[in-house]
Amino acid sequence: MSRDGRFELYYHHGWAYLSVYPPREGGRPVYHEDVTNRMRILGCPHVSARLVREVVERADGQPFRLVEWPGGERLASAISVTVAEDGMLATVTVSRPLKGAAAPTTEDVLEALRQAGVVYGVNRDSIVGLLADARYDEQIEVAVGDPPVHAQSATIVYHFDPHRGKPYLVMEFDRINLRELSFVENVDEGDLLAELEPPVVAKDGRSVGGKLVPARRETEEVSLLAGSNTELRGDGTALIAAADGNVRLVKGTVLVEPLVTVERVDYSTGNIRFDGSVVVEKDVADGFVVDAGGDIQVGRGVGRATLKAGGNVLLKAGINGGGAGRIECEGDLFAKFVESSTVVCHGNVFAEEAVMHSHVITWKHCVLNGRRSEIIASTIVVAGSLWCKKLGSVAEAPARVSIGVDPELLDAFRETRHELESTETRIGELERQVDQLDRAITDGRHEQKVFDLRDRLAGELAEARIRMPGLRHRLHEYRESLEASRESRLVVEDTIFHGAVILFGASEYHPPEKGARRTVLRHGVEGILEEGFNPADRPKLAFATT
């Protein structure tokens, strides 16, 4: 350490300060010329030599306020305060002081915070630390508010999987993995099925500016709903299985349904009609019926059979109905393939490989995403979106697809249109028959049976003409309602073959003679919009999870 005396000349809060320290034994003292030279270099205002000499001679190390120095502010640290938009966090950034300015103090930072309106949650230790460590030009967190704790309704914790297969289990390349999929989860009597966690009580918060931040206090009434074969305990906070069986969540209600498991459905079992779920380990033979109030799972194939489920249907192989196979379900259908069958599904239809020579109606989405993913010579009515790799084929009958319209509304429209066309045809026939009878009467045929027939046909003709305005009006109303959803999509990853017909409500799309490649169709303001399919930016389909 130097034995010579030293001095500090610095700017602080609008003034020039001078501190002079004496030398150690044998060291050189500070001379007033040293100070005045430094003042000239820094641009400090003039101070009398006598005053400088007095401070130098005193050399007591105490700061002495020499003169006002407005221009010295350019040397001082700049302290900037940033407050988060939600008012819950404040940070400061302190710039490094230039030579000739005093280091900022804790009080300097606190004053900058007060000037910025930060008065709550200030951490003095953070400020002391950043100055002690000279963490200049860094944004440092120095004040944190208390965020409000919003009231939350009680929450239900399920001890089983309430969304099995929603929307579906996937493998690499997003292929449906039917081998891993199951809608059966067995529980034993006495098992805990669900618990009700208590609600969160609201607590107001406070911003770093000291402002009260009120918490939301609105909550919904949440309770455990006990379905069949379950019971509530613990003042309604725990739901217990009252019997062995398959646990399911149906519209917010937990139930345990009985479960029937058979190796196959054939003459050894007869038709199966059961209130719960049915698991067929192997196959369902031609001509047989499986009617379940819950889910139906089949491990192998289904032929010319009928499956009806109040829940989901899972075919780990598929169905080849030979023109007589039929599936009806209130939930989702999962199958490897659907061939020569009719499907009426109030949920989603998921098929791995193909839909062929079939008629499929679904109130949600129809998704094919296996390696083939083909729709061949089939009619598809889907209220949501349709996704496949190939639609139609070169050799087969064309596919016909209706997208984005409620199937019941579309069916009513088609029935009314058919009735109107049939009535128009019948009116034409009746007019010709009445006209022929009129000519016969004019030509002298006055038998009573001729008059009776003429009167009967004329009455039928009058009734048909009366029905026509009502049919036309009803058809017009249905047509006006057939506006396709703007959220619905047709996504074809490979090819739409020529001959396929795609309808979005009343708007039709016909692919060109060479077909359409990698296409996404949707309904816009002025009709059907066409764009390319980009595997890197795949469209999203909204699947319900309850």
DSSP 381-435: EESS-EEEEEES-SSSPPPEEEESS-HHHHHHHHHHHHHHHHHHHHHHHHHHHHH
One domain, residues 83 and 126: yes
**Domain presence at residue 315:** no
**Domain presence at residue 321:** no
Least confident interval from 147-151, 334-338, 526-530 = 526-530
Distances from the Cα of 207 to the Cαs of 116, 123, 189, in angstroms? Answer: 13, 14, 52
pLDDT digits (tens, 9 = 90+) for 40-58: 888 899 988 899 999 999 9
Mean pLDDT on 62-80:
91
Asked which of 73, 89, 109 is the last residue of a domain, the reply is 73
CA dihedral (422, 424, 430, 434) in degrees, to 10, reads 180
One domain, residues 124 and 173: no
Whether residue 20 contacts residue 59, with contact meaning beta carbons closer than 8 Å, is answered with yes
One domain, residues 160 and 212: yes
Per-residue pLDDT, 546:
47
Is residue 375 very low, low, confident or very high in pLDDT (cuts 50, 70, 90)? very high
Whether residue 493 contacts residue 477, with contact meaning beta carbons closer than 8 Å, is answered with no
Per-residue pLDDT, 157:
95
Q: What percent of the chain has pLDDT over 70?
A: 97
Task: Give the mean pLDDT of the chain.
Answer: 90
Is residue 1 very low, low, confident or very high in pLDDT (cuts 50, 70, 90)? low
Residue 369, pLDDT > 90, answer no
Mean pLDDT on 73-98:
93
> In which residue are the tokens 């006495």 written?
190
Distances from the Cα of 276 to the Cαs of 247, 268, 284, in angstroms? Answer: 10, 20, 18
One domain, residues 159 and 216: yes
One domain, residues 69 and 89: no
Phi, psi (rounded to 5 degrees) for 230:
-135, 160
How long, in residues, is the chain? 546
Asked which of 213, 230, 254 is the last residue of a domain, the reply is 254
Mean pLDDT on 3-14:
90
One domain, residues 179 and 125: no
Phi, psi (rounded to 5 degrees) for 121:
75, 20
One domain, residues 44 and 107: no
- Cα–Cα distance for residue pair 196/157, rounded to 1 Å: 6
Going by C-alpha positions, the residue among 169, 314, 160, 349 that lies closest to residue 249 is: 160
Higher pLDDT: 183 or 84? It is: 84
Per-residue pLDDT, 283:
94
- Cα–Cα distance for residue pair 168/456, rounded to 1 Å: 60
Q: How far is CA 165 from the centre of its chain?
A: 17
Q: Which amino acid is at 195?
A: E
Here the tokens at position 136 are 């200049």
- Cα–Cα distance for residue pair 14/332, rounded to 1 Å: 77
Helix (H, G, I), strand (E, B) or coil at 319: strand
Mean pLDDT on 132-158:
94
Mean pLDDT on 124-128:
94
**Domain presence at residue 12:** yes
Number of folded domains in the chain?
4
Per-residue pLDDT, 366:
94
Helices (H) and strands (E) in the chain, counts: 6, 35
Considering only CA atoms, give the Rg of the chain: 42
Residue 252, pLDDT > 80, answer yes
According to the 3-state scheme, what is the secondary structure of 513-524? Answer: CCCEEEEEEEEE
One domain, residues 159 and 247: yes
Q: Which structural domain range is residue 139 located in?
A: 76-144
One domain, residues 34 and 114: no
Q: Name 246's bridge partners.
A: 186, 257
Here the tokens at position 316 are 């780990």
One domain, residues 159 and 224: yes
Q: What percent of the chain has pLDDT over 90?
A: 63
Q: In what order do the strands lie in the sheet with 139-144?
A: 79-83, 89-94, 139-144
**Domain presence at residue 317:** no
- Cα–Cα distance for residue pair 372/352, rounded to 1 Å: 8
Mean pLDDT on 348-354:
93
Asked which of 227, 254, 281 is the last residue of a domain, the reply is 254
**Domain presence at residue 192:** yes
